[in-house]
Copies of this chain bind each other. A is one copy, B any other.
Amino acid sequence: MYRTHTCGELRLHHQGQQVTLAGWVQRIRKLGAITFVDVRDRFGITQLAFYEDSDKENFDKANELGREYVIQVTGIVRERDSKNPNLPTGDIEVVPHTLRILNASKTPPFTIEDETDGGDELRMKYRYLDLRRNPLKNNLMLRYRIGMEVRRYLDSLGFIDIETPFLIKSTPEGARDFVVPSRIHPGHFYALPQSPQTFKQLLMVAGFDRYYQIVRCFRDEDLRADRQPEFTQIDCEMAFVEQEDILQTFEGLVRHLLKEIKGIEVGPFPRMSYADAMRLYGCDKPDIRFGMQFVELNDIAKGFGFKVFDEAELVVAINAQGCAHYSRKQIDELMEYVRRPQIGAGGLAWMKRDENGLKSSFDKFYTPSQLEAIAEKAKVTNGDLLLILAGPEAKTRKALHELRMYMGEKLGLRKPDEFAPLWVLDFPLLEWDEETGRWHAMHHPFTSPKPEDIHLLDSDPGSVRANAYDMVLNGNEIGGGSIRIFDRQLQKKMFQLLGFSDEKAQEQFGFLMNAFEYGAPPHGGIAFGFDRLVALLGGHETIREFIAFPKNNAGRDLMIDAPSPIDEEQLQELHISTINPQV
């Protein structure tokens, strides 16, 4: 036995006991004839005290320890002279009579402290050292606790975890697949799943009724900041349900997590149609921790000779309450923000009300009462600053959404310890893709249209709404799903709309369409982005710090150096050759 207790366990009532501890040297302080060593493990930190007078041998040995040495000590627990109320073990210390160095350590390339001096690349290369730091350790502990609570909740409702295959078939729909060459079947490839979508639907056809899995998924996409080529989903599916059953069940899941993990009780989730989300927030995943809803001004701002507004398809504003004191410079800074190419607004108009009355950047085009009408519609009261964008509808909404989020951040309205979940409903079934000149499934090709909209499938596909729903938390989509098509004919029609030939549909999804011929039940489901959910519950928006061994923005694992070239022999066995390999 290497230890009798962990380094987080000893309290005053252990006083006088002989204990054995093992762990890492966190800190060494020499105070004259006493050397204090803090020893750390996953469970906490305990102070060891070595006294020169009573035990010169161990005192000398302790003075030769370095940071991150792995040690084992046996000694007596005693009450500390000066207690540390910030440490659970702060009432006691251990006076060791034996000290054994289990392993030495070189000086780590960065400090193993809550705030470290290591850069991103270095910390990823030495991830095993970075993971020793409390923030990362706590993130992974949180991830574990959330995973277990997800399992507990779903188990209590009769869901069962069923493992689906990782070596599946490549489908051209959706994002790019990672593929795996087959050695046994030359020229053939498996694909890694982007999600277990078709398998979970087949499990419903098979009668499993309630399925879940916390499962790795893969997408070979160009990596944006904070995207990972492999990510984890909480994947769920239910049979014999309507949309309302799914909303209740999974709203319950997130409510359970907020309660168990954060100690927060939230009421029923608000619901918003996709159309309203776009109208009020310019975005299908609004952050409703703060207001600043869009106010459309077309009817009262256009037609008075101000060209910027008159020529715009849409004039729309947000009211930044209490920001009337913004200086010229501050407003110019906002102007610059919205003009950035990735946002692309042409400019920014404003209006404010303060002790000097109502003032705007377009005073000269309007009478005071016309200005007052705008102010009234946007509820510009004393101290408020109205920020107005004008331009083509879709682009302007998107830009104002960005500005709203920017202002929310600036004004401290996006509080990481506040949780405002929301359902967004009634998504369009299809979206038109200019590039390919055809309809794409907004969710995926298995999403069912709303029954009352089915008659529009031929005449006006773009206006058909789907039985689809997203769960949004603090401005992030954390989950999304739909009620599926379970009728072969409707599924076939859907593939036709999406431009699949019958042959192609059969080749790619024949097994699913065949399955629908043998008694498919009504079913639907949802998938949560587990990495994102954990990060949000951890009060962050970057997922990388919540994954044990993440890849960098180029999809590279800097610690193990992957991907990397493989042997020529391996390539031959797999019946492939490389083209212009990078060396």
The answer to whether residues A575 and B578 also contact, given A162-B140, A209-B41, A559-B511 and a CB cut-off of 8 A, is yes
When all copies of this chain in the complex are counted, the total is: 2
Q: Decide: B548 and A203 in contact? CB cutoff 8 A.
A: yes
Q: Decide: A3 and B188 in contact? CB cutoff 8 A.
A: no
What is the chain B residue whose CB lies nearest that of A21?
B240
Q: Does A70 contact B (CB under 8 A)?
A: yes
Q: Decide: B103 and A549 in contact? CB cutoff 8 A.
A: no
- A28 to chain B: closest CB distance in Å? 14
Q: Decide: A208 and B521 in contact? CB cutoff 8 A.
A: no
Residues of A within 8 A of B (CB): 1-3, 22-24, 40-43, 68-70, 102-106, 108, 126-129, 131-132, 137, 140-141, 143-144, 147-148, 151, 155, 160-170, 172, 176-192, 198-199, 202-203, 205-210, 216, 218, 220, 222-223, 229-230, 232, 240-242, 245, 486-487, 511, 515-522, 547-549, 551, 554-557, 559-567, 570, 572-583
Q: Decide: A3 and B240 in contact? CB cutoff 8 A.
A: yes
State in angstroms the CA–CA spacing of A555 and B166 once bound together.
12
Q: Decide: A574 and B519 in contact? CB cutoff 8 A.
A: no
Q: Decide: B207 and A167 in contact? CB cutoff 8 A.
A: no
Q: Decide: A522 and B102 in contact? CB cutoff 8 A.
A: yes
- A199 to chain B: closest CB distance in Å? 6
Q: Decide: B517 and A105 in contact? CB cutoff 8 A.
A: yes
| Chain A to chain B contacts (Cβ below 8 Å), 28 pairs | A1-B242, A41-B240, A42-B207, A42-B209, A102-B521, A103-B522, A129-B518, A132-B206, A137-B207, A143-B163, A144-B162, A148-B151, A148-B161, A166-B218, A167-B551, A180-B192, A183-B220, A185-B555, A186-B579, A186-B582, A187-B579, A191-B566, A199-B548, A199-B549, A202-B559, A203-B548, A511-B560, A575-B580
The prevalent SS among residues of A at the interface is loop
- A4 to chain B: closest CB distance in Å? 11
What is the chain B residue whose CB lies nearest that of A232?
B163
The answer to whether residues A555 and B151 also contact, given A2-B241, A172-B567 and a CB cut-off of 8 A, is no
Q: Decide: B519 and A68 in contact? CB cutoff 8 A.
A: yes
State in angstroms the CA–CA spacing of A108 and B515 once bound together.
10
Chain B residues near A559 (CB, 8 Å)?
202, 511
Q: Decide: B564 and A242 in contact? CB cutoff 8 A.
A: no
Chain B residues near A187 (CB, 8 Å)?
565, 578-583
Chain B residues near A565 (CB, 8 Å)?
187-189
Q: Decide: A554 and B2 in contact? CB cutoff 8 A.
A: no
Chain B residues near A562 (CB, 8 Å)?
167-169, 190-191
Chain B residues near A566 (CB, 8 Å)?
170, 179, 189, 191
Chain B residues near A103 (CB, 8 Å)?
486-487, 516, 519-522
State in angstroms the CA–CA spacing of A486 and B102 once bound together.
9
Chain B residues near A155 (CB, 8 Å)?
148
State in angstroms the CA–CA spacing of A218 and B183 once bound together.
13
Chain B residues near A218 (CB, 8 Å)?
166-167
Known contacts A1-B245, A186-B580, A189-B566; can you find 6 more A-B pairs with CB under 8 A?
A40-B207, A105-B519, A131-B203, A143-B162, A182-B563, A186-B582
- A320 to chain B: closest CB distance in Å? 41
Q: Decide: B582 and A520 in contact? CB cutoff 8 A.
A: no
What is the chain B residue whose CB lies nearest that of A43?
B209
- A405 to chain B: closest CB distance in Å? 29
Q: Decide: A563 and B185 in contact? CB cutoff 8 A.
A: yes
State in angstroms the CA–CA spacing of A549 and B169 once bound together.
13
- A460 to chain B: closest CB distance in Å? 28
Chain B residues near A169 (CB, 8 Å)?
557, 560-564
Chain B residues near A68 (CB, 8 Å)?
518-519
Q: Decide: A206 and B163 in contact? CB cutoff 8 A.
A: no
The answer to whether residues A179 and B129 also contact, given A189-B566, A548-B162, A582-B187 and a CB cut-off of 8 A, is no
The answer to whether residues A129 and B161 also contact, given A520-B103, A562-B169 and a CB cut-off of 8 A, is no
Q: Decide: A206 and B131 in contact? CB cutoff 8 A.
A: yes
Chain B residues near A24 (CB, 8 Å)?
207, 519, 521
- Leading 10 A-B pairs by shortest Cβ distance: A187-B581, A105-B519, A188-B563, A131-B206, A169-B562, A2-B240, A182-B563, A68-B519, A144-B160, A187-B578
The answer to whether residues A180 and B183 also contact, given A103-B521, A106-B517, A151-B151 and a CB cut-off of 8 A, is no
State in angstroms the CA–CA spacing of A163 and B234 once bound together.
13
What is the chain B residue whose CB lies nearest that of A140?
B162
Chain B residues near A108 (CB, 8 Å)?
518
Q: Which of A108, A162, A199, A223 has the largest count of B CB atoms less than 10 A from its CB?
A: A162
Chain B residues near A245 (CB, 8 Å)?
1
